[in-house]
Amino acid sequence: MIPALGHLAIPAITPTTIEDFIEAKRGPGGSIRFQGKPLSDASLRTGLLALRLILQRAVRTKRIPANPMHEVEWRGTPRIERVDPFSGAELRAILQSAPEHDADFATLLQVWMQSGMRAGEVCGLQWQDLDLQLGTALVRRTWSRQRLGPTKTGHERSVAITHPVVDETWEWRPGTTETARSVVGGLQRLTVRPMDDPEAFVFGRGRVPLSSMDLHRRWRRALRFARVRYRSPEQLRHTFASTLLSRNAPLLYVQSQGGWRSAGVLLRVYARWMPQAHAGDPQLSVDGIPSATPAQLRWPLRGAAGGPSTM
């Protein structure tokens, strides 16, 4: 705010002044930290909150009659989810080639593919969060911008890490295929596995989590070796949701596993992958596999109320 508004007297800051400031910040070059880039809505919102408080104090001290922020209307840019999921064949290619070059990272990828976690949640996993016998992980922190914090929603959740996302099957329930269950063996074979320290990170070095830079470097290499078209690693989360929903997994189950704020978010982003969206096609398929019959889709099925089957 200082470069744009610091030279102005408080009474000179009008609604038009603020709207011009917002427009400039949202345009190319609006960000000071990243040259040529617009300022993100999150950063802009923080700045406007500070400006509102400054102007409100000016109202209390009688410097201005009213807060001009009250006459400013603005909304953040609508978030566009760029969903470009991987096919089952692409996931299998990645998992088949990755162990030859980086077995530990292949295990990380399989956990990510089969759980629907966010990148920071995968990197933030500690050994004390895992139950290898049940094939579950307790997601209760995230590693982002070189610091640990709570999950995006602020809530802990227990997730299954054995969903058969990679397999050519109509099944969505965790632990139903040998490939899905193999992730447990991969975790047991990790090169660095300090079981005597429960706070050690599963995919880091002791109490040092895997860095975002290292994650993306190894991800690019894994896709290059697998000869799979590049997409950001966060597409693994989109792949998890679109795959389970296309197999008729219950909407609320997918929401709870992935930690989305509401079922409405899933509907807005992933509705086109749900069989109901293809009512004219009675044989919707996933990777060429026919969808399940109504008798096969009764839920809850075997296992606990959350849906997982026993391993």
Report the CATH number at residue 126.
Answer: 1.10.443.10
Give the chain's domain count.
Answer: 2
Within-domain flag for 83: no
Q: Calculate mean pLDDT across residues 12-26.
A: 90
What pLDDT, on a 0 to 100 scale, did the predictor assign at position 162?
Answer: 97
Decide: 55 and 69 in contact? Cβ < 8 Å.
Answer: yes
Q: Say how far apart CA 220 and CA 225 lie, in whole Å.
A: 9
State pTM to two decimals: 0.68
- Domain that residue 57 falls in: 2-71
Is 80 a domain residue? no
Helix (H) or strand (E) run with residue 304 in it:
none
Q: Are residues 105 and 224 in the same domain?
A: yes
- Of 127, 233, 97, 141, give the one whose Cα is nearest residue 187: 127
Is there a domain that residue 78 lies in?
Answer: no
Same domain, 160 and 253: yes
Question: Does residue 167 contact residue 183 with C-beta atoms inside 8 Å?
Answer: no
Distance (Å, whole) CA 173 – CA 5: 56
Of the pLDDT bands very low, low, confident and very high (cuts 50, 70, 90), residue 195 is low
Query: Which of the two residues, 68 and 289, has the higher pLDDT score?
Result: 68
Do 227 and 132 share a structural domain? yes
Check residue 164 and give its pLDDT. 97
Does residue 280 carry a pLDDT above 50? no
**What is the pLDDT averaged over residues 249-272?**
91
Do 121 and 176 belong to one domain?
yes
Q: Are residues 127 and 265 in the same domain?
A: yes
| Mean pLDDT within 147-156 | 88
Based on the fold, state whether residues 95 and 62 are members of the same structural domain.
Answer: no
- Whether residue 304 lies inside any domain: the answer is no
Evaluate whether residue 29 is within a structural domain: yes
Is the same domain home to 67 and 188?
no
The last residue of a domain, from among 38, 71, 104: 71
Q: Which of 47-61, 188-202, 214-228 has the lowest mean pLDDT?
A: 188-202
